Amino acid sequence: MKRIITFLLLILVIPAFSQGVDLDPHSFNVSYVNLPPKPVLDRKNRNFSITVNLYNATEAKSAKEYLEENSGIDGFSRVASNGYLEIVFNLENSISNLQEVRKQVVFERNANGIEVPVTIYTNVFKCKDFGSYNVVCASEPSLNKKYSLERTYTKELSFRNQGESNSSSFLSSAVLRSSYLSNIVYNMESRLNRDYGYIVEQTSDYLWILDSKKHPEYESNVKALTSIKAIFNKMEYNQDVAPLKAELEPTIKYFEGLDKIYTEDERKHRKLRYEAYFNLAVIYHYLDMPDESDIWCAKLLANKYDASDAEGIKIKNESLREMFAVNQVKSRHMDVELRSNGIKNEDSDVINLDPNYFLKNDPKYQLISLILTTNDTVSGYSRINALGNLDRKVSVSIPDENGNHNHIFKTYFADQVTRLTIQENDFYSTVSFKEALRAGSKPVFRFVREILNGKTISLYGYQNNEIIIKKKEDAFGASTSSVGWQMNTKSKFAELARPCPKLAARTNGTEFQNDLNAFMKFVEALDACK
């Protein structure tokens, strides 16, 4: 009888252990402060000022105003002078040379609806910037650093007739200066924030969760995922994570126990252990416990199933320990001066303002409207020159007690806004995507101009020279100026066209290039596919 019972138990148990083990990635949200390698340890000293050296005093003043208005260091406030960090710019003129003139014939419909050929002339200029800037800290010379502003780039201007093209054989100093200052802002945003900034990250990562519904661990996996997402949603960049760890204990215990059940060396057991070890390593990393995370990385390595993941997490843990040591802290969760998240009031110097001055009468300002992620609507005035270079934030006037818009502003950041309207037909959305030219960057919400909203794909323009493409169901967009899109244009189009075999076949030819016209044509063809 015992043999029969044992045999029946084996019949019941073996199918359970032989179920398929499919793992799917699932995202969860995290919030923390990215610690700098060159920290200003005392928070009261986290301020900076800007000095601009340029042979033309008027241009120096204008450049200083532009940089003060459009740039900053996360975690720092800007002061008018004598900042703890002084950013000293030594600016020079840029140069440009006409390299080539490209001709392209496109077909456009005239007033009678007939397609006619139009020749577009594109002047391609090779440009070069010069100059540098220094971070100077009199109190802590170890924080001093010099950065170069030299770069070579191309700029294109398109014309609809040859005469205009011929008469534009050089770029104006105004165009070059605008490009120069825009690059300085980008340079500061990336370099100074990387070295000194306390950047509040509102981002996401992923865990591996069982997707085999018939497996005995499926329900427990789903329960664990639900718990993790809910608890990490409570994470705040400036709040202690200890309460979150306490809430996660049951889930941690569950994953810790899986390798006691699935002990065999065969692939399915190793795959389940991989899930448990990976998830525990990731969870402990975001709880600011890199040593505990490494324990599970070691198990992940020994398990010999996708061991490379362990190496990646170990590198992140080592970097975290180094940042803890340099910043003399034990956690990435702290209170910092907000710039890249949250709302910050910005009161202008009003000493010399005329009491009858109102923004609606100032031609330098434009009335705009924001729809916030809270579904609230905000209307106010913003500087026109700032609207021409929208990136991660926008400052909007708020009315005083009398309902007048004059000198009181709030800064809204892209992750707080769903839509921005500048004029009747000029709409911006906010999309999270990686910077095309910055390797290893994380997706960040930015303001992007709406170009085309298809049924499944939307196109956006970022700062007038970069196309962002985003599938409706995706959390992130992609820059078509990225290396991936530049090097694999056909395969990227083919992947997007997968739901439409006829369109996918067309991507093998030269019809779809990496330019706006091709992207619009592609989206419209995908929408029309049956």
Q: Provide the pLDDT for residue 400.
A: 67
Nearest to 40 by CA among 146, 190, 196, 200: 196
Buried b (16+ CB within 10 A) or exposed e, 455-471: eebbbbebeeebbbbbe
- Residue (of 475, 457, 430, 448) closest to 527 by Cα position: 457
Residue 491: its pLDDT value, please?
A: 84
Residues with pLDDT less than 50, the chain: 1-17, 340-353, 439-440
Task: Note the pLDDT of residue 347.
Answer: 40
What is the maximum span of the chain, computed from C-alpha positions, in angstroms?
Answer: 101
Question: SS3 of 169, please?
Answer: coil
Structure tokens at 491: 């395969």
**CA 418: distance to chain centroid?**
15
* Structure token pair of residue 179: 């490009």
Half-sphere exposure of 472 (CA within 13 A, CB side): 8
* pLDDT the model gives residue 47: 94
